[in-house]
């Protein structure tokens, strides 16, 4: 049992370490075969995404960069998960993931903060 837990932890840590955004690996494993996560790719048009995912729950104008962002709710076996697809100013996919548009924007704000040198 201990070895299985250790292996699972190492795999999750490796997956998390390769990702540039904070997402729960369990969400990916649960929802990766849903139409949006499986089929939407960077560079697709908004019309292509709407064909795949349908009407989003909400569509927001982005504040951290030009463009818009669609919030979707994925549902599998009664469990719901937020999923966003963001579009650049040309209406092409430039991001997607297992969080809301607001969470994605918050992450962008944090990543753009300057790093203070000299410590505290």
Task: Set out the domains of the chain in order of their start, with CATH numbers.
Answer: 21-112 (3.30.1450.10)
Structure-block tokens of residue 49: 């995404």
Q: What confidence score (pLDDT) does residue 18 get? A: 42
Q: What confidence score (pLDDT) does residue 117 get? A: 58
Whole-number Cα distances in Å, 83 to 5, 6, 8, 72, 112: 28, 29, 25, 5, 22
Q: What confidence score (pLDDT) does residue 115 get? A: 61
Structure-block tokens of residue 105: 């924007």
Compute the CA torsion angle 6, 17, 94, 39 (nearest 10 deg).
-30
The stretches in the chain having pLDDT less than 50 are: 2, 5-20
Note the pTM of the prediction, 2 decimals: 0.73
Dihedral-angle region of residue 54 (phi above 0 means left; psi in -120 to 50 means alpha; beta otherwise): left
Q: What confidence score (pLDDT) does residue 109 get? A: 84
Show Cβ contacts of residue 45 under 8 Å, excluding neighbours closer than 6 positions: 91, 92, 93
Q: What confidence score (pLDDT) does residue 19 get? A: 44
Q: What confidence score (pLDDT) does residue 12 get? A: 45
């Amino acid at each position: 049992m201990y070895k299985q837990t250790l292996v699972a932890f190492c795999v999750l840590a490796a997956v998390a370490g390769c990702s540039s955004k904070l997402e729960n690996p369990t969400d990916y494993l649960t929802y990766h075969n849903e139409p949006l996560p499986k089929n939407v790719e960077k560079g697709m048009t908004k019309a292509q995404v709407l064909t795949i995912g349908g009407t989003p729950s909400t569509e927001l104008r982005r504040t951290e960069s030009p463009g818009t962002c669609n919030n979707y709710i994925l549902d599998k076996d009664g469990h719901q998960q937020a999923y966003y697809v963001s579009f650049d100013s040309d209406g092409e996919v430039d991001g997607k993931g297992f969080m809301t548009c607001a969470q994605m924007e918050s992450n962008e704000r944090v990543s753009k903060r300057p790093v203070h040198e000299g410590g505290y």
